[in-house]
Amino acid sequence: MNAPHHSKVAGIDSTVPTPAHTVAPAPPVPGTAAVPAPNSPAPGALLQDRLAGWVSDLTTLHELTERLARTDSLDGALQELLRAGAALVGARRGLVVLEPADGLGPDTTIGLGLGRADLGHIETVPRGAMSYGELLDTAAGLPGADGEIVHPDLFAEDGLDPRHREVAARLGYAASYALPLSTEAAGRLGAAVWLYDEPAEPHERRRHLAGLYVRYATEHLARLLEVARTRACLATIAEELLPSRLPRVAGVQLAARHRTGPRGGGDWYDALPLPDAALGLAVGSVTGSGPSAVAAMGRLRASLRAYAVMEGEDPVAVLSDLELLLRLTEPARSATALFAYCEPALRKVTLAGAGHSPPLLIGERRTEFAETSVSAPLGMLACWEAPSVEFQAEAGETVLLYTDGLLHRTGDPTDRAFARLHAAATSVPRALRRDPGAIADHVLRTVLPDGLDAADSEEDVVLLAARFD
């Protein structure tokens, strides 16, 4: 492996067709008539060949950038960048290291044709000995710098790091070509490296095409990075506005599950101890999405906690106060809410709902929706009012509160969504019925199968389960 190899031009991928390469004709000698060389193409044919090559290159770049533009996630865009770059430079494998210079993350490494173990081997090489380390840690990776790093024959190079030599031999690559992911506008985002199985390097035309593509890809990645950071920030704020932990109250076990949409929504839940060993349970949803809905949700939940402490034994009064506050502070917004006053020692539940779906009782001998009165959402009428309802839970039964997002994510009509929820609750295995968290997980996975519970959706989902001893 230490014997020097003659570098060769990397093979051209069929994705990028090769135009005919020709040599410009010599200028004619003054005073003499130009005599075409035997069997040489006419000047018009040379120009036509070059124009055909340029059109081919532009068409290829257009197709590749169109594919990249259709990606809507960072991981998807990075994978597409690696695939397209490999086709442009004639490589088979590669990796991209995302490491924004502002230090705000996310930091990640994604491989093409490299498994997790392969990436782990590469990460054992000293960072400065790898092309991506050179780009990320030196001026070559700064915006505006040319920055390409070519290693046409790693094993023929003097001073190759021993660990790098060992890893390259283990993984079977002998050359590399690297470009920074950086622009003046986006700053430094990371670096991409493509690996060759044999000593090779991309042709100058290939480098030019790859450079154009990577500059466009970096701008696209910068936009997706900003979106990902905004979504993560909204999700963090929403989670911080919800209970960090559920209270421990004698006679009842609690569990909650929350799924936030990519834009951040207004679904919320709460559980708080009340005087006389009582427990208040609440779920609700504010209309809209994004930062304003998250902020409104936080204000509404905080206000409900205060009203519940003052008059929690009367759920109708709690929601009436909440409706008045919403009408005065958020006149253009409406909300649904359900508040339940629970007495665990008696297993007695008194609740009132404002445009909210009824709770579900799950037990050994029955699985049914609790009877609730029909009422409008908060903020829809000049004065909200609805009667409360009361029911008795049996020992071992679980009361499941949820938001409408659970039903809406199914994509079914309302009646079918309710039937699906009821069937999911009925099918809870006997071994799981003593754990409210397991019950909530089973219902979530059954109502929203195939990863729909975790998929991006405009609808938030909240489940709050209370099992009575």
Q: How confident is the model at residue 456 (pLDDT cuts 50, 70, 90)?
A: low
Instruction: Give the pLDDT of residue 332.
Output: 82
Residues 337 and 301: their CA atoms lie apart, in Å, by 10
Task: Tell me the average pLDDT across 260-284.
Answer: 87
Residues 136 and 145: their CA atoms lie apart, in Å, by 12
pLDDT above 70 coverage of the chain, percent? 86
Residue 451 or 139, more confident: 451
pLDDT in tens, 131-153: 999 999 875 555 544 579 999 99
Instruction: Give the pLDDT of residue 18.
Output: 41
Task: Tell me the average pLDDT across 448-454.
Answer: 76
159 contacts: CB under 8 Å, gap ≥ 6: none
Task: Tell me the average pLDDT across 361-377.
Answer: 87
Task: Tell me the average pLDDT across 423-438.
Answer: 93
Sign of CA dihedral 49, 50, 51, 54: positive
SS3 call for 432: helix
Mention the CATH class of domain 50-232: alpha beta
Instruction: Give the pLDDT of residue 229.
Output: 87
Instruction: Give the pLDDT of residue 43.
Output: 66
Residue 39 or 124, more confident: 124
37, pLDDT greater than 80? no
Task: Tell me the average pLDDT across 233-247.
Answer: 80
Domain residue spans in the chain? 50-232, 242-468
Instruction: Give the pLDDT of residue 30.
Output: 47
Phi, then psi, of 306 in degrees rounded to 5: -65, -45
32, pLDDT greater than 50? no
Sheet of strand 93-98, all strands in order from the earlier edge strand to the far edge:
108-112, 93-98, 187-196, 175-183, 149-151
Q: How confident is the model at residue 14 (pLDDT cuts 50, 70, 90)?
A: very low
Residues 279 and 302: their CA atoms lie apart, in Å, by 16
382, pLDDT greater than 80? no
Instruction: Give the pLDDT of residue 34.
Output: 47
SS3 call for 288: strand
Mean pLDDT of the chain: 84
Task: Tell me the average pLDDT across 300-304.
Answer: 91
20, pLDDT greater than 80? no
Task: Tell me the average pLDDT across 385-398.
Answer: 89
Instruction: Give the pLDDT of residue 361.
Output: 94
Instruction: Give the pLDDT of residue 24.
Output: 38
Q: Are 468 and 251 in contact (CB under 8 A)?
A: yes
Model confidence, pTM: 0.64
Structure tokens at 319: 């929601």
196, pLDDT greater than 90? yes
CATH of domain 242-468: 3.60.40.10
Q: Are 384 and 378 in contact (CB under 8 A)?
A: yes
Q: Are 115 and 165 in contact (CB under 8 A)?
A: no
58, pLDDT greater than 50? yes
Residue 128 or 27, more confident: 128
42, pLDDT greater than 70? no
SS3 call for 180: strand
Q: How confident is the model at residue 48 (pLDDT cuts 50, 70, 90)?
A: confident
